[in-house]
Amino acid sequence: MKKFLNNLKKYLIIFVITLIFLEIGSYIVLRVTSSSSSKNAQTTSAYVNIPLTIYKQQNEEGIIEPLKKVVVPVKENYESRWANREFNISVKTNDRGMRDVETLENHEVDIAFFGDSFTFGHGVEVEDRYSDVLADSLPNFKVANYGYFSGFQPEHYEYFIRNNKDLKAKHVIVGMYIGNDLASDIQETNYDRETNSLEIPMRMISEEGSIYNAPKLYVFPVNKLIKYSYFTKLVVKMINRSHYRAVLFENLLPNVPNSVALETGQESLENNRGIIALQELDTIIAERGGKLTVLLIPQNYFFSRKNPHIHPELKEKITEVIEGDNVYKTIQKELTKRNIDFFDPMPVLSESSYFDQDAHWNKKGHHEAGQALANHIKKLQQ
């Protein structure tokens, strides 16, 4: 018995020491990989990973608390670099936390852009965003880009516009990424239209300023350990980037591709919350004397098979999806039925408009879409 206890004590000591080293090592790895000390990063073709740490915490827990002036809080007068394998760009914000060079108050804006990462300018310099390309083509209009400043899907924009009654732009353009604005982004949002209250309970903001999944999303015991263990955080981070990420989550898998039914046009959009929010926006903007245009942003699989953003079950059936009924055709029919103006950039885009691995538009894609959208707006202004 004494020998057993001695062995048990020895193994417990080894176990504890191992845990300590794992925690210390994991802490170091996480700190290094999440570091945003990137102002001096050089633009090279070599692989660098500089995360976007543009957000600011509103409380110690990192819980996002939407305010009237901002849905997701962004750091004001902030500057850093943001890079991965395919881009290395500068990100700066003005004193309103917007990625615009000029600071405009709401009442000064003639054309207002709303949208998610595409509109914010994921992977491109500020002057190459489609909103800035349009602004260059319409120099007589004051343009503001609220991308990221006010959310990720149409309910976020509705919340912001309802709260900011001084925004009476002649034209409001909503960039609608069909790959997640109709489903996953909506599932992660609680919006009460009657009280105009919005919650984003599935996301939190780290001390560094990046958005991460709320612990309650994870299965037990990960949901408990991730709050206190750096090793658990590191393991979760690695699995989250793999094909096995689903095993980490209990009820809701965040930021997933559209379901097979939605992607193939079998799911009706009549009661889709994103579409309903667009209808509400169309009414509100019209009452303020403006015009809404929805910029449809197609997924990269319409042009490339390199890293298609599509449900895994459909990766071998992309041609059939494109040629048959699909969500891109369905949303156009729904918007037409509701008499909501939209612009389809598909004819001017190509495989070379997207990054090879990243699913977003590159500089070429933004310029193509921005110029074509500018021509559309010019026609509406005539």
- With H, G, I as helix, E, B as strand and everything else as coil, classify residue 143: strand
Distance CA 309, CA 258 (A): 9
For Cα atoms 190, 59, 198, give the angle at the middle one, nearest 5 degrees: 15
CATH code assigned to 90-202+254-381? 3.40.50.1110
**Digitized pLDDT (tens) for each residue of the chain, 382 residues in all:** 766 666 667 767 777 777 787 778 877 887 776 654 444 444 444 556 788 999 999 999 999 999 988 999 999 999 999 999 999 999 999 999 999 999 999 999 999 999 999 999 999 999 999 999 999 999 999 999 999 988 889 999 999 999 999 999 999 999 999 999 999 999 999 999 999 999 999 999 999 899 999 888 888 888 888 888 888 888 888 887 777 788 888 877 777 899 999 999 999 999 999 999 999 999 999 999 999 999 999 999 999 999 999 999 999 999 999 999 999 999 999 999 999 999 999 999 999 999 999 999 999 999 999 999 999 999 998 7
- The residue length of the chain stands at 382
Pairing of strands 190-192, 143-145: unpaired
User: Closest Cα to residue 153, out of 102, 208, 203, 109?
Assistant: 203
Show me where the domains of the chain are located.
90-202+254-381
